Amino acid sequence: MKVEQAKQIASKAIDELSQALERGHSETLRKYLAAMVRFRQYSWHNVAMIFSQRPDATRVAGFHTWKQLGRNVKKGAKGIMILAPILFRKSKEEVAEEEQSRTALGFRVVYVFDQVDTEGEPLCELSTAQGDPSGYTEKLKQFVAQRGIQLEYSDAIHPAQGQCSPGKIILLPGQSAAEEFCTLAHEAGHLCGVGSYVA
């Protein structure tokens, strides 16, 4: 029953997003995309489930993962329901000389908790770029322009600091000089590949 309940939550979240887009509410899509950036290790359905149950969630993990990080889930905290695959591990004999492989047999309901529902050891924070890039930012902007890449600034990409697609880089305005240089270098590096990226 819980798996069906989880599927209903995911389906309802996707339907609500679809209806919001049909009504022209692109802000809802922006919020979902921001959630996908925060929870990039989760499937689209699990991101939809997390967002629909806790739109303000920032970092989520299971009970045991929080324990391994030196944090405890607070008493009375309500978990966020997601689906996890049930895996079947093939034996060494079945796999022969290949590496051991796993096959998904189905899904089960598991619960994750947002970091605000935990207490204990402080979590590692992402470091910020520091220093003075001096004239290197302008040189990098010239490098980008010489390759016909358009450079823009927009708050619409928040919480990402930068975003690129073929022929275009968008940076979040208001970054420090060092952060702007690092983000621009990062996005310029992506343009060696194909497709659209968010950092």
pLDDT value at 197 more than 50: no
Residue 142 pLDDT: 93
Of 64, 95, 120, the domain-final residue: 120
The per-residue DSSP string of 132-199 comes to --TTHHHHHHHHHHHTT-EEEE-GGGTT-SEEEETTEEEE-TT--HHHHHHHHHHHHHHTTSSS-EE-
Instruction: Give a yes or no: residue 130 inside a domain.
Output: no
Of 77, 92, 120, the domain-final residue: 120
* Nearest by Cα to 177 from 139, 143, 135: 135
How many whole angstroms separate alpha carbon 179 and alpha carbon 133? 9
Predicted confidence (pLDDT) per residue in 22-71, tens digit: 888 777 777 887 888 788 889 888 998 999 999 999 999 999 999 999 99
How many whole angstroms separate alpha carbon 172 and alpha carbon 162? 6
Instruction: Give a yes or no: residue 33 inside a domain.
Output: yes
Task: Quote the domain boundaries for residue 64.
Answer: 2-120
Q: Which amino acid is at 159?
A: P
How many whole angstroms separate alpha carbon 30 and alpha carbon 20? 11
Per-residue HEC secondary structure of 17-55 comes to: HHHHHHCCCHHHHHHHHHHHHHCCCCCHHHHHHHHHHCC
Instruction: Give a yes or no: residue 96 inside a domain.
Output: yes
Per the structure block, which two tokens stand in for 133? 């890039």
Q: Quick check: 102 and 87 in contact, CB under 8 A?
A: yes
Per the structure block, which two tokens stand in for 132? 């003075």
Shared domain for 58 and 114, answered yes or no, is yes
Shared domain for 20 and 94, answered yes or no, is yes
Shared domain for 109 and 160, answered yes or no, is no
Instruction: Give a yes or no: residue 125 inside a domain.
Output: no
Of 87, 120, 153, the domain-final residue: 120
Instruction: Give a yes or no: residue 157 inside a domain.
Output: yes
How many whole angstroms separate alpha carbon 86 and alpha carbon 104? 6
Instruction: Give a yes or no: residue 127 inside a domain.
Output: no
pLDDT value at 195 more than 50: no
Of 73-87, 92-106, 119-133, the one with minimum mean pLDDT is: 92-106
Shared domain for 115 and 140, answered yes or no, is no
pLDDT-based confidence at residue 3 (cuts at 50, 70, 90): confident
pLDDT-based confidence at residue 76 (cuts at 50, 70, 90): very high
Instruction: Give a yes or no: residue 126 inside a domain.
Output: no
How many whole angstroms separate alpha carbon 198 and alpha carbon 39? 13
The larger pLDDT score, comparing residue 17 to residue 58, is at 58
Predicted confidence (pLDDT) per residue in 84-108, tens digit: 888 776 666 655 545 555 666 788 8
Question: How many domains does the chain contain in total?
Answer: 2
